[in-house]
A and B are shown apart, each in its own frame.
Chain A
Amino acid sequence: MRPLRKGAVLIGVLVASAACGGASSPSPSAVTSPPADGATPTPPPANQAKAGGTLVVALPGDITRTDPALIDDSNSSYVMQQVMEGLVALAPGSTSEVVPALAESWTLSPDGKTYTFKIRQGVKFHDGTPLDADAVVYNYLRWKSFPTELQDYSYYAGAVFGGYGESSNVASVVAVDPATVAITLKSPSSSFLLAQTLTVFAISSPTALKAGKADNTELDISKVEYAQGGPTAMVGTGPFKFKSWVVGDNVTIEKNPDYWNKDATAYLDAIVFKPVAEEAQRLNGLATGEIDFAQTIAPVDIATIRANSELAVIDRGESCNTMQISINQNYVPVNNLKIREAIASAVNRDYLIETFYAGLAVPADNWMPVNTLYAKPLNLPTYDPERAKQLIAESGETDLTIDFYYPSDVTRPYMPDPKGIFEAITSDLEAVGLTIVPKTETWRPDYLDDEYAGKFEMWLLGWTCDWSGPDNFLKTAFFGYVDGAPSTEFAYRNDELEKTMNDALAATDEATAKALWEKAQDLIRADMPTVPLINSTPPAAARADVMGFVGSGGLNEYFHSVWLDR
């Protein structure tokens, strides 16, 4: 079955065939070599895939905890999505295509409030206990009722469920029969299903949760053994099993020979995830073979990697981030729409993409990437310095001085060289007559604290998606109100937009949701509160004999299909 695209979030019935479940047959050509040198090696066909071997994967940092519900970082999530599964998953290579996983199928009630999931039968957790409706309910109720001490670490449960306990938007989670779970919301939420693809909503073995003190009775997270590694941790249903975590050094997972989906049994015997913070070290490790696969590399290293026939650059395809010039409307002259339009016209995005992203990015034409659910082209201004000058003249502003900030000591997936990008943009802005006062602060804690507190007039910042839905970009990342008022960071007031976004989230049918989200985009476009610049696809790199990898702009990447041609 071809899983539904985009609209799958609101589609009622999705019947799954045996081949589904986020498990496609391996595609050996997924590791792409550069077109530049023309030396693309022809990978052997899938039926030549070899089983066995250990893959060493370099991540930018260590995992934080081994309990999927108590993480909110991408390193932990990246490891766990190999071991743990939720009711639904994202199709390999996609950022928004929902496919069955532990749920074979699901329906949504006409009022948009009740999701009924058919639980896959015959699935066993890694500890040998069976998956059934009760196990699913146990997990969901645990997340819903996290005590306040643990809520600091369960960002997504709080965000997606709209709070905890009685104040949660989740009214009930019940086992209708051993193979059916019904989740009822108080009010419809069109992003609910897509959000269930997040690793944090992976189903753990209730037996292991209880053994690891992860049953909401232990309030001190440092004593929740399920979160701290060790034998009871990370017990899921996935194609790999958790083996060990040596903090700061590695997380090792090994093949699950009893995986329920025989079409997606892992080829590899084991994967070792190593935190390698320095980009140069990842490159050295790849070159010497100490590392097989680097999850993230700096775009500036692409040329070096392409020059080495033993290595390959991996283009992830769809973007799931947005980099923008953020603006706070409490400051003059950036509170003037014409000035903001002028800034949008003044920046040469193509130059930035070629210089800092090695071409692995596209100019942003929206506040969310083009493949996001309901995203539409907004015809944002393109590079036109003459128009920018004209807009500035029309603006009536006399003081054209702008304090402009960039973060130091950091690179972000959407911003590989903050200082370089900042300098290029500054020179573009000064060329059209604006006076830029360059400012910088260290990323943590100063930059994030001060931009959030509204101390910046204009600054560089972006967002990497949690899920590829419009709410995650437009509302969560950017313009949603905080505690009923415009956020301190943007100080952008548009009550109609706020209402439209809330209505869109609560829409019970796809057509209404689509119409409302498109209206929201038009409202934002009209005000141009910030200036979106770029959607990038951060590259990965691997040894050339690493086959079968399917990249995803949202880092939803599954290693069961990966094999070593050695």
Chain B
Amino acid sequence: MLKYIVRRLLATIPVLLGLSIVLFAFVHLLPGDPCTAILGQRQTPAACARLRENLGLNDPLYVQYLDYIGGLLRGDFGASVINSKPFFDEFSVRFPGTVELTVAALIFAVGVGIPLGRLAARHAQGWIDGLVTAISLFGISIPVFVLGLVLVLIFGVTLGWLPTQGRIEARAGFEPTTNFLLLDTALAGRWDLFVDVLRHLILPAIALGSIPLAIIARITRASVIEVSNEDYVRTARAKGLTERRVDDRHIMRNAWLPVTTVVGLQVGGLLGGAVLTETVFGWNGVGRWVVDAIGNRDLTIVQSTILVFALIFLIVNLIVDVGYAFLNPRIRYS
């Protein structure tokens, strides 16, 4: 097993290298250059020439690429052309925001989606099943930003129950250390702010989690129904096992596999959906950052963020694959 994990990790290197070449090519195919982004209406040919020279944009592409890769190997991911912050200075602030949001959305999607799916499966073809199907159709159909805006208007502006934007009450003046605010507030013993951070998480997590929730509910339902028709389930019931035991030990154990696969895949979707959610809720995360960076032709930030995300995605996939082995003892990697 260990050997397998090491091999998979090593395999990420050529993948990332290949990706970096493709990324670099694509990013440099974008029309326009950072001169407009930085100088705007104040650009002059002389100022643009100086800027391009200073940023190394006059070098041949392969030189720029090798400079970039060389920097990566030294742990230098470059700096933004907009605020000239080194990549990790800003990434380390924004990434925890996206992680907190994504995890919260995933917990919401799994925590609600799987029970809903099981409920629908148990009452297959009944009205509960129909209701769950309707809910999941709704979840898949409604765009994240529409749902987000509606949630903000109802629960934030009209009812005033929950905050409409940001990650924490601005007036609190809380200075984070890791930028995982739940962790930071807990470590600081500021439980009032811990609750405040949770309250800020609720609406964005629901908005972002709605689509994965719907998908997970559908897959769970289908998987449970399929397994329920297996001979061994009938045998289990015939043995006189309680319905609960049949459910836990015989149905769900086997139904987990496809659900796990889907949950793993949803992580990628969540990171994508985070762009919209972060915009609607003024969430200081990576998604909004990348979109702004593309608009600003902040090429270093775009490249480095996508590379880091690709790495994360590869690792999540590995975790999911390893997870199979635990869920299903018949799967063995070597």
Contacts and interface: CB of A to CB of B under 8 A. Distances in A.
A446 B31 contact: yes
Given A54-B173, A222-B84, A444-B295, 20 more contacts: A243-B173, A247-B89, A248-B90, A248-B284, A248-B289, A270-B173, A272-B173, A278-B279, A278-B280, A287-B157, A288-B156, A444-B40, A445-B32, A445-B33, A445-B36, A445-B37, A448-B41, A449-B32, A452-B36, A483-B46
A161 interface: no
B83 A62 contact: yes
A542 to B, nearest CB: 15
Nearest to A273: B170
A483 B43 CA distance: 12
Most buried by A among B39, B42, B82, B83: B83
Contacts of B171: 54, 56, 272
Nearest to A449: B36
Interface in B106-163: 149, 152-153, 156-157, 160, 163
A483 B45 contact: yes
Interface residues of A, number: 51
Given A152-B38, A228-B85, A444-B296, A281 B164 contact: yes
Contact of A446 (B32, B45, B50, B156): B32
A56 B173 CA distance: 11
A284 B152 contact: yes
B46 A274 contact: no
Interface of B: 31-33, 35-47, 50-51, 54, 79, 82-86, 89-90, 93-94, 149, 152-153, 156-157, 160, 163-167, 169-171, 173, 175-176, 179, 279-280, 282, 284, 288-289, 295-297
Given A248-B94, A288-B157, A152 B164 contact: no
Nearest to B175: A244
Nearest to B34: A445
Nearest to A289: B160
Nearest to A158: B47
Contact of A64 (B83, B169, B176): B83
A288 B164 contact: yes
A444 B167 CA distance: 29
Interface string A34-57: 000000000000000000001010
Interface in A456-490: 461, 463, 477, 482-483
Given A244-B175, A248-B284, A444-B32, A64 B82 contact: yes
Interface of A: 54, 56, 62-65, 72, 148-149, 151-153, 155, 159, 221-222, 227-228, 243-244, 246-250, 252, 270, 272, 274, 276-278, 280-281, 284-285, 287-288, 290, 409, 444-446, 448-449, 452, 461, 463, 477, 482-483
Contacts of A246: 93, 175-176, 179, 284
A56 B170 contact: yes
B36 A272 contact: no
A444 B84 contact: no
A213 B105 CA distance: 42
A193 to B, nearest CB: 21
A152 B170 contact: no
A267 to B, nearest CB: 16
A452 B43 contact: yes
A446 B271 CA distance: 29
B163 A290 contact: yes
Contacts of A148: 50, 54
Contacts of A272: 170-171, 173
B54 A285 contact: no
Contact of A281 (B39, B46, B282): B282
Contacts of B85: 222, 228, 247
Nearest to A249: B284
Contacts of A278: 279-280, 282
Contacts of B41: 448, 461, 463, 477
B151 to A, nearest CB: 11
Contact of B166 (A228, A244, A249, A270): A249
Nearest to A221: B84
B42 A65 contact: no
Contacts of A452: 36, 43
A247 B83 CA distance: 10
A269 to B, nearest CB: 9
B90 A247 contact: yes
Nearest to B152: A284
A222 B169 CA distance: 30
A479 to B, nearest CB: 14
B165 A290 contact: yes
Residue among A247, A448, A482 facing the most chain B CB atoms (10 A cut-off): A247
27 contacts: A54-B171, A56-B171, A64-B82, A64-B84, A152-B50, A152-B51, A152-B54, A155-B47, A246-B284, A248-B93, A248-B94, A248-B284, A274-B170, A277-B279, A278-B279, A280-B149, A281-B165, A284-B152, A284-B164, A285-B164, A288-B156, A288-B160, A288-B163, A290-B163, A448-B40, A461-B41, A483-B46
Contacts of B279: 277-278
A482 B44 contact: yes
Contacts of A227: 84
A62 B93 CA distance: 14
A53 B224 CA distance: 56
B222 to A, nearest CB: 38
Contacts of B282: 274, 276-278, 281
Contacts of B173: 54, 243, 252, 270, 272
B302 to A, nearest CB: 14
A250 B83 contact: no
Nearest to A283: B157
Pick from A228, A446, A477 the residue with the most CB of B within 10 Å: A228
A277 to B, nearest CB: 8
Contact of A290 (B54, B153, B164, B296): B164
A65 B83 contact: yes
Closest 10 CB pairs of A and B: A445-B32, A222-B79, A445-B36, A64-B83, A249-B284, A221-B84, A272-B170, A248-B284, A54-B171, A284-B164
A449 B94 CA distance: 30
Nearest to A463: B41
